[in-house]
Amino acid sequence: MWAELLPVGRSSASGGYRRYAWTPADTDCRTWFREQAEARGLTYETDRNGNQWAWLGDPAAGDAVVTGSHLDSVPDGGAFDGPLGVVSAFAALDELRGRGARLTRPLGIVNFGDEEGARFGLACVGSRLTTGALTVEQAHRLTDGDGITLPQAMEAAGHDPETIGPDPERLARIGAFVELHVEQGRALDLSGDRIGIASAIWPHGRWRFDFRGEANHAGTTRLADRRDPMLSYAETVLAARREAELAGAVATFGKIAVEPNGVNAIPSLVRGWLDSRAADQESLDTVVGGVEKAAREYAAAHGADLDVVRESFTPVVEFDHALRDELARILGGDTGTDLRVPVLGTGAGHDAGILSGRVPTAMLFVRNPTGVSHSPAEYAAEDDCVAGVSALADVLEGLART
């Protein structure tokens, strides 16, 4: 499975993945998912929001145990973020069949669409639509960098956009959701453990900063006469770093658009996207409030106008305590394994976080020896991935026979 997915959507220039929602690379990943489901005799379906499901047993029976993740990527992402959870889900099912496990609850495998939000700017679109966290009206307003709307992109990829919207019936069938994911930090590497269980996801969001000035000639415009928005943008990047350090949080300007984007023109517009995350809401508010205040001062000082728009936000997620403890019991306790499973929080967003308000949800992390993620260098050792599959199989079996 891993070898089949590896070339899909991979840039030969960077070695990273460019599997953006509803593009041909994404379609190839979806075809792969469907083939995996059919090869195992699972019931395959695409839901109204374009998420893919593969079922063992009848989901209509309810109280289903579901696992899975996503197959899309950030620009030049790594191979593991998302696909590890989907591949491990199919592999865990194979292991359960090999063990002759007797499951009394339906078992589902899911590929949530557009988790990274690389194309339309909003993360977890598939799960947000399903829970209603993203409304149909909001979804219709999402556009990519070329002005193609989400419904247009869905339609071009063969999914009927008329069907999108909340799916409470589907959610009601799920008794537990467990997402396995490569760790996006070094906590497991530092503690010497292969597998961890998630406690919480930091509150996080994305804010768009539009600095508007005046386009003019780079050679002939006196410095004193310029209204150059790049200056206030640059100072704002430094302010974000400062505010994050003060609050023990993180803040990143990782994407920027400049108009007219000419080497010999003073820009008329600098649009930068701030991604900020903190352990608690108060710290996050302090960072974003501080960055915005600084940005307004810098903009005023350089004769630029500033608009700040919050494009997305996910409040703190505290995963279901009972399910988390059940996972710890299954993995660390009575199965005969002596696996130590630390419980850790993360600053990364996941579909599991979106679902957690509606369904008992848990996450398993697999050790990442460098901690690198959202980069072609992202890596996990094969032994650790195999341990992840085995842990996931134990968890699914433990949950689905009770």
Q: Where along the sequence are the contacts to ligand HGY (CB under 6 A)? A: 115-116, 123, 348-349
Q: Which is nearer to ligand HGY, 124 or 393 (CB)?
A: 124
Burial of residue 212, with CB atoms counted within 10 A of its CB: 0-12 exposed, 13-18 middle, 19 or more buried: middle
Q: Which is nearer to Mn ion, 82 or 151 (CB)?
A: 82
CB of 265 to ligand HGY, least distance (A): 32
Q: Label the pairing between strands 52-56 and 107-112.
A: antiparallel
Q: Which residues of 76-110 are buried (b: 16+ CB within 10 A; e: fewer)?
A: bbbbbbbbbbbbbbbbbbebbeeeebebebbbbbb
Residue type, 358: R
CB of 44 to ligand HGY, least distance (A): 25
Q: Which is nearer to ligand HGY, 67 or 268 (CB)?
A: 67
Q: Which is nearer to ligand HGY, 37 or 123 (CB)?
A: 123
Partner from ligand HGY, Mn ion, none contacting 82, C-beta within 5 to 8 A by type: Mn ion
CB of 370 to ligand HGY, least distance (A): 18
Q: Which is nearer to ligand HGY, 349 or 398 (CB)?
A: 349
Q: Which is nearer to Mn ion, 230 or 359 (CB)?
A: 359
CB of 349 to ligand HGY, least distance (A): 3
CB of 123 to Mn ion, least distance (A): 8
Please check whether residue 391 is in contact with residue 211, taking contact to mean a CB–CB distance below 8 angstroms.
Answer: no
Helices 24-39 and 83-99: angle between axes, nearest 10 degrees: 10
- Residue among 344, 326, 336 nearest 65 (CA): 326
Q: Which is nearer to ligand HGY, 86 or 103 (CB)?
A: 86
CA distance 135 to 56: 30
Residue 167 has which token pair?
């799916």
Residue type, 23: T
Partner from Mn ion, ligand HGY, none contacting 78, C-beta within 5 to 8 A by type: none
Q: Which is nearer to Mn ion, 115 or 167 (CB)?
A: 115
Q: Which is nearer to ligand HGY, 36 or 69 (CB)?
A: 69
Residues within window 77-136 making contact with Mn ion, judged by CB under 5 A = 81-82
Partner from ligand HGY, Mn ion, none contacting 107, C-beta within 5 to 8 A by type: none
CB of 272 to ligand HGY, least distance (A): 17
Please check whether residue 113 is in contact with residue 49, taking contact to mean a CB–CB distance below 8 angstroms.
Answer: yes
Return the residue matching tokens 């006196």.
222
Tell me, by CB under 5 A, how many residues bind Mn ion.
2
| Dihedral sign for Cα atoms in the order 110, 314, 128, 354 | positive
Q: Give the contacts of 139 (CB within 8 A, at least 6 positions apart).
A: 125, 129, 150, 151, 164
Q: Which is nearer to ligand HGY, 115 or 228 (CB)?
A: 115
CB of 85 to Mn ion, least distance (A): 7
* CA 195 distance to own-chain centroid: 20
CB of 346 to ligand HGY, least distance (A): 8
Binding of Mn ion by 275 (CB under 5 A): no
Give the contact letters, 55-84, x = binds to Mn ion (CB under 5 A), - = no.
--------------------------xx--
CB of 90 to ligand HGY, least distance (A): 21
Query: H helices within 64-221, ranges in order?
Result: 83-99, 125-131, 136-140, 150-156, 168-172, 187-191
Residues within window 344-373 making contact with Mn ion, judged by CB under 5 A = none
Instruction: Starting at the earlier edge strand, list the strands of the sheet with 269-277.
Output: 250-259, 269-277, 204-212, 305-314
Torsion of CA 393, 399, 400, 401, to 10 degrees: 110
Residue nearest to ligand HGY (CB): 349
Partner from ligand HGY, Mn ion, none contacting 349, C-beta within 5 to 8 A by type: ligand HGY
Partner from ligand HGY, Mn ion, none contacting 47, C-beta within 5 to 8 A by type: none
Please check whether residue 49 is in contact with residue 129, taking contact to mean a CB–CB distance below 8 angstroms.
Answer: yes
CB of 182 to Mn ion, least distance (A): 8
Q: Which residues bind Mn ion (CB under 5 A)?
A: 81-82
